[in-house]
């Protein structure tokens, strides 16, 4: 039989099949049928556990696709997306592997930043589908129910990621015609084509015949359905005493790399916000906060936010981590160049950042932050000086220690938000990364509430910011759109460096205007909200192998730099 279009292109891109679980293939190399997969599970249920437990690591696997120095998983794609936006500047130098994102030449379906976004997400989707196809939906086994919940949640997360980069956002007020020619699609048209939806139900059909791009609306429906299923399954498993904590009792370091109910509600809140379902987004965020509070999760305090952090998912102080990655110090890769810390933080002393590609905040955004806001301490100031609250180990390295390692001087506005392993700059790059934090839930809740009750949303936002970030905060929005911009500004500060900023630009139809942001000349752009360069082309290998993708390129042209302003 003909091999998969999407998944054959995975093979062409770097033999992703080598890490797939054994449910998908028979000993003779043939593809197993669904009945055969279920028979295998019945005989060896440990395979289901292995498949589910592999999902978090698939998101951060390295040297999987191209075996180059930015091939370290979904974090790399997240960093590329931040670089595409307006809030993360960095130098125009040869060591900057993310220059194509900064200049927005990475839209092309042959470019590896594009391909990594596609393959890492579909790679994980494939594993989720295989797990679901190989297990019984009607099982009473609580552990199998828990594992199926993980597959639904991870699949939803990956489709959400894809929806941000391969289509414009969602605008509920537009009733579009899905048959319009591509150049007639307005930005934020839910009828616009997004990505193929491959599930455990249609995966064999997709492999045999290909699959067309689904609409943005259909992709979000799939995301919502998957997360709703995950929530229901997690609830059923918990009734039998099976939870994220119990399943990882022997390995507590990785507990929060899996999804529980608070995370599933949080992800659904995010998805609902992005498809303009404001009321239900607020409801889901409220439920997620309730569950998180019961678990002992809470927003980071002002005192803890004043020093570098966001680096240890298992720290007793990291109460704000709901879900994220775990970087195992025993893995040698984190001491080398191919990891997120190498490209992001100058506190990894042998990384690319220290070689001159420090990640810096938009100058205008930094200067707009009041001194009473603790987040002002998440970056160096305009003169390159650290805040007085910065621990000595960091301050000394910034002032002089960097030179002993042959690194470049820390530039103005360089990031301090994400700390170093064990709070000491070193060659160790074991920095955990948040996929979802408590703080985002307050921001979703506020924006969602304000759509129907401006006063309620304003109160939620004010209480959050005054308690956890800026005791002097006030806001007096004139209407919902005004308040939405206030929340967006809070999101720009709070979620900086966490891979969500570009999606917000798309969702809110903001221009990519970097003028006055402190970007190098070649990266000073001003790109309109509806310019197709803002979305990725479908990978060329997928277009060539999938006959049902007939509109995979969008006619984008790399934007030219514009004159900067002070």
The string of pLDDT tens digits covering residues 385-431 is 999 999 999 999 999 999 999 999 999 999 999 999 999 999 999 99
Q: For position 16, what pLDDT does the model report?
A: 30
Q: How confident is the model at residue 66 (pLDDT cuts 50, 70, 90)?
A: confident
Stronger pLDDT, 4 or 483, i.e. the higher one? 483
Residue 510 token pair: 């903001």
The secondary element (H helix, E strand) that includes residue 439 is: helix 438-450
The residues, ordered by sequence, that sit 6+ positions from 79 with a Cβ below 8 Å of its Cβ are 98, 340, 343, 344, 499
Residue 457 contacts residue 308 (beta carbons within 8 Å): no
Distances in Å between the Cα of 197 and the Cα atoms of 50, 105, 155, 207 are 25, 26, 10, 12
Query: How much is the mean pLDDT over the chain?
Result: 90
Residue 415 pairs in a beta bridge with: 379
The residues, ordered by sequence, that sit 6+ positions from 560 with a Cβ below 8 Å of its Cβ are none
Q: How confident is the model at residue 41 (pLDDT cuts 50, 70, 90)?
A: low
Among 391, 422, 389, smallest CA distance to 302 is for: 389
Of all residues in the chain, the percent with pLDDT exceeding 70 is: 89
Q: For position 44, what pLDDT does the model report?
A: 63
Local structure of 466: helix, strand or coil: helix
Local structure of 97: helix, strand or coil: coil
**Measured between alpha carbons, how far is 256 from 508 in angstroms, rounded to an integer?**
30
Alpha-helix runs per DSSP H in 54-184? 55-59, 74-84, 99-103, 112-133, 142-165
Q: For position 3, what pLDDT does the model report?
A: 34
Q: What is the pLDDT of residues 249-283, one digit of tens each?
A: 999 999 999 999 999 999 999 999 999 999 999 99
Q: State how far Cα 544 lies from the chain centre.
A: 28
As a whole number, mean pLDDT of residues 528-557 equals 94
**Can you tell me which residue has the tokens 């220059």?**
99
Q: How confident is the model at residue 9 (pLDDT cuts 50, 70, 90)?
A: very low
Residue 295 contacts residue 262 (beta carbons within 8 Å): yes
Q: What is the pLDDT of residues 318-331, one digit of tens each?
A: 999 999 999 999 99
Q: What is the pLDDT of residues 290-309, one digit of tens each?
A: 999 999 999 999 999 999 99
Q: For position 12, what pLDDT does the model report?
A: 36
pTM: 0.92
Q: For position 169, what pLDDT does the model report?
A: 83
Q: In the Cβ-directed half-sphere of 203, how many Cα atoms lie within 13 Å?
A: 22
Apex 506 CA angle, 500 and 509, nearest 5: 135
Q: How confident is the model at residue 64 (pLDDT cuts 50, 70, 90)?
A: confident
Q: For position 1, what pLDDT does the model report?
A: 29
Query: 55 φ, ψ to 5°?
Result: -60, -45
Local structure of 527: helix, strand or coil: strand
Local structure of 309: helix, strand or coil: strand
Residue 192 contacts residue 185 (beta carbons within 8 Å): yes
As a whole number, mean pLDDT of residues 88-105 equals 97
Q: For position 65, what pLDDT does the model report?
A: 84
**Measured between alpha carbons, how far is 414 from 418 in angstroms, rounded to an integer?**
11
């Amino acid at each position: 039989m003909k091999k998969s279009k999407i998944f054959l292109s995975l093979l062409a891109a770097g033999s992703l099949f080598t890490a797939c679980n054994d449910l998908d293939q028979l000993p003779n190399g043939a593809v197993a049928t669904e009945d055969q997969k279920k028979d295998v599970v019945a005989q060896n249920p440990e395979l289901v556990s292995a498949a589910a437990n592999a999902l978090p690591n698939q998101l951060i696997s390295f040297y999987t696709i191209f075996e180059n120095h930015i091939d370290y998983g979904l974090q790399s794609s997240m960093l590329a997306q931040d670089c595409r936006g307006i809030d993360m500047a960095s130098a125009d130098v040869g060591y900057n592997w993310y220059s194509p994102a900064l200049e927005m030449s990475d839209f092309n379906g042959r470019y590896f930043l594009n391909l990594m976004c596609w393959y890492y997400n579909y790679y994980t989707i494939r594993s989720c589908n295989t797990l679901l196809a190989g297990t019984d939906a009607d099982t009473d086994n609580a552990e199998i129910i828990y594992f199926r919940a993980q597959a639904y949640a991870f699949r939803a997360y990956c489709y959400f990621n894809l929806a941000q980069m391969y289509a414009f956002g969602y605008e509920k007020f537009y009733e579009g015609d899905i048959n319009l020619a591509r150049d007639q699609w307005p930005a934020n048209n839910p009828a616009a084509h997004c990505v193929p939806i491959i599930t455990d139900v249609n995966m064999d059909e997709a492999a045999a015949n290909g699959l067309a791009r689904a609409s943005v609306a259909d992709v979000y429906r799939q995301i919502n359905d998957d997360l709703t299923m995950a929530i229901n399954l997690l609830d059923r498993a918990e009734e039998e005493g099976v939870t994220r904590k119990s399943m990882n009792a022997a390995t507590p370091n990785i507990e929060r790399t899996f999804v529980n109910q608070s995370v599933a509600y949080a992800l659904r809140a995010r998805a609902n916000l992005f498809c303009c379902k404001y009321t239900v987004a607020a409801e889901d965020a409220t439920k997620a906060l309730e569950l998180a509070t019961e678990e002992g999760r809470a927003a980071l305090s002002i005192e803890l936010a004043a020093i570098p952090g966001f680096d240890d998912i298992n720290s007793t102080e990291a109460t704000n981590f709901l879900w994220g990655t775990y970087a195992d110090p025993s893995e040698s890769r984190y001491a080398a160049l191919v990891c997120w810390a190498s490209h992001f933080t100058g506190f990894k002393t042998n990384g690319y950042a220290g070689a001159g590609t420090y990640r810096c905040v938009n100058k205008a955004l930094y200067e707009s932050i009041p001194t009473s806001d603790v987040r002002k301490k998440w970056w160096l100031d305009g003169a390159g000086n650290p805040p007085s609250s910065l621990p000595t180990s960091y301050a000394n390295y910034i002032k002089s220690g960097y030179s002993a390692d042959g690194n470049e001087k820390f530039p103005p506005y360089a990031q301090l938000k994400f700390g170093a392993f064990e709070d000491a700059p070193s060659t160790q790059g074991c920095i955990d990364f948040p996929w979802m934090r408590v703080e985002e839930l307050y921001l979703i809740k506020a924006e969602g509430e304000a759509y129907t009750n401006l006063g309620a949303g304003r109160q939620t936002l004010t209480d959050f910011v005054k308690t956890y970030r800026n005791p002097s905060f006030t806001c007096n929005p004139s209407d919902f759109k005004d308040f939405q911009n206030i929340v967006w500004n809070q999101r720009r500060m709070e979620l900086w460096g966490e891979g969500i900023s570009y999606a917000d630009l798309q969702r809110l139809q903001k221009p990519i205007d970097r003028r006055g942001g402190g970007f190098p000349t070649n990266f000073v752009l001003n790109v309109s909200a509806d310019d197709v360069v803002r979305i990725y082309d479908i990978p060329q290998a997928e277009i060539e192998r999938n006959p049902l993708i007939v509109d995979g390129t969008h006619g984008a042209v790399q934007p030219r730099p514009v004159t900067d302003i002070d």
